[in-house]
Amino acid sequence: MAEDIPQLYLVTPPSFDLDSFIPQLASILDAQAVACLRLELASRDEDAILRAGDALRELSHARDIPLVITDHVLMVERLGLDGVHLSDPGTGIRKLRDSLGADAIIGAHCGNLRHDGMAAGEAGADYIAFGPVGETLLGDGAHAERELFEWWSELIEVPVVADGFLTPALVENLAPVTDFFAIGPEIWGTDDPLAQLRALIAPLC
């Protein structure tokens, strides 16, 4: 069982205006402890990703918060990021480790599949994300149950992240059996993302 209070892993919106988002994000990072930040843009526009990556790297590194990017492996070195989050656990993690080096963060999202999580961990992933943990009508509606996190936290040393459609009740329920909560869509788009974040993680306080 996880002995410490889970840390926060903040995920950016899939699209945002840099001029308004960066000050908003800065205010959140200054008010709330965050262990890791993930740049997760839906855009495939290279220039847009580069500009966002530059801005977020400056913001996060000034606060000693590591910054990873979803899937765009080649952007890690180019932007001076701390690592990559893989949405497909079948990506060659061992080869990525060789190319990115021992210090790079490599995370893998493994849905609700134990086998994929174990394989990614054995290949060298630094963390495994399971989810969505909340109910959703997206995809086939499958989600990661508490039992998966219980099993993982009891048997596997690789840190585990609870990700997707979190609620205060789920945060309270999963807190003893996860290392991180990945939070993003739950707060962005609300009138006050910081207040929404604090309400979501209130059970941890």
Domain boundaries, the chain: 7-136+143-199
Contacts of 74 (CB under 8 A, 6+ apart): none
Q: What pLDDT does 137 receive?
A: 65
Residue-wise pLDDT tens digits, 53-83: 999 999 999 999 999 999 999 999 999 999 9
Give pTM, 2 decimals. Answer: 0.95
The SS3 of residue 174 is helix
Give 57's Cβ-side CA count (13 Å radius): 17
- Omega of the bond leading into 132 within 30 degrees of 0 (cis): yes
Q: Could you tell me how far CA 149 lies from the centroid of its own chain?
A: 16
- Asked if 171 and 204 touch (Cβ cutoff 8 Å), the reply is yes
Architecture of the 7-136+143-199 domain: Alpha-Beta Barrel (3.20)
Q: Over the range 69-107, which residues count as b (16 or more CB within 10 Å of their CB) and which as e?
A: bbebbebbeebebbbbbbeebebebeebbeebeeebbbb
Rg over alpha carbons for the chain, rounded to the nearest Å, is: 16
Q: Which helix (H) or strand (E) holds 188?
A: none
Give the DSSP letter of residue 177: G
Q: What pLDDT does 136 receive?
A: 78
Q: What residues of the chain score a pLDDT lower than 70? A: 1-3, 137
Q: What pLDDT does 89 receive?
A: 84
As a whole number of angstroms, the distance between CA 144 and CA 159 comes to 16
